[in-house]
Amino acid sequence: MNTAPSDGPGLEIRRHLPASPDRVWRAWTDPDEVRRWSGPHGFTVTDYRADARVGGTWRLVMTSAEWGEMAQGGVFRVIEPPRHLEYTFAWENADGTPDREMLVTVTFAASGDGTEMTFTQATFENEPQRDSHVSGWSEAFEKFAAYLEETPMASG
């Protein structure tokens, strides 16, 4: 596993979500819900497994007509419901080994009629790689917001 140097580019995305922090947390961490919204436009999650505890692992597989199957995974580092989550993130290579490891941090704070989400991911090898993730995550978060609007009372 390659660990990223701390001086590469990172990303930060902030998004207001139309649900309480408790609801957002549940939709972000419940595998059945993650399968329904995760991934950029055109992608479908075919598998998501998570042992949501500090030191537990997660793995998500998604597919698209254009890109085929793509897998990612990591280890949970911090879990503080419903406000703070940190986990490692690495794409899987063709042989199933993890590629460059990055750190994702997500915070959720009550804000007006919903939740302010702050998402960071670092560090990337270069700016084009980072920019590609900005695009993918932004699309996933559009799907996430729509999912929360459509399923405000979904059980977790």
**Could you tell me the domains of the chain?**
11-150 (3.30.530.20)
Q: Which of residues 116 and 8 earns the better pLDDT score?
A: 116
C-alpha to C-alpha distance for 97 and 88, rounded to whole angstroms: 14
Shortest CA distance to 73 belongs to which of 87, 83, 63? 87
Beta bridge mates, 26: none
Task: Give yes or no for residue 1 having a pLDDT over 70.
Answer: no
The confidence band for 3, taking pLDDT boundaries of 50, 70 and 90, is very low
> Mean of the pLDDT values across residues 102-111?
98
> Mean of the pLDDT values across residues 27-32?
96
pLDDT at 2: 38
Task: Give yes or no for residue 35 having a pLDDT over 80.
Answer: yes
The confidence band for 152, taking pLDDT boundaries of 50, 70 and 90, is confident
Strand order in the sheet with 44-50: 11-17, 114-122, 102-111, 84-91, 68-80, 57-64, 44-50
pTM score, whole prediction: 0.91
Q: Give the distance, in angstroms, between the CA of residue 121 and the centroid of all CA atoms in the same chain.
A: 9
The three-class DSSP label of residue 125 is: coil
pLDDT at 156: 43
The confidence band for 154, taking pLDDT boundaries of 50, 70 and 90, is low
Q: What percent of the chain has pLDDT over 90?
A: 91
Q: What would the pLDDT profile of 57-77 be if each residue is shown by its tens digit? A: 999 999 999 999 999 999 999
Across 80-115, b (16+ Cβ under 10 Å) vs e yields eebeebbbbbbebeeeeebebbbbbbbbbeeeeebb
C-alpha to C-alpha distance for 151 and 143, rounded to whole angstroms: 12
pLDDT at 41: 96
Task: Give yes or no for residue 6 having a pLDDT over 60.
Answer: no
Task: Give yes or no for residue 143 having a pLDDT over 70.
Answer: yes
| Strand boundaries in the chain, DSSP class E | 11-17, 44-50, 57-64, 68-80, 84-91, 102-111, 114-122
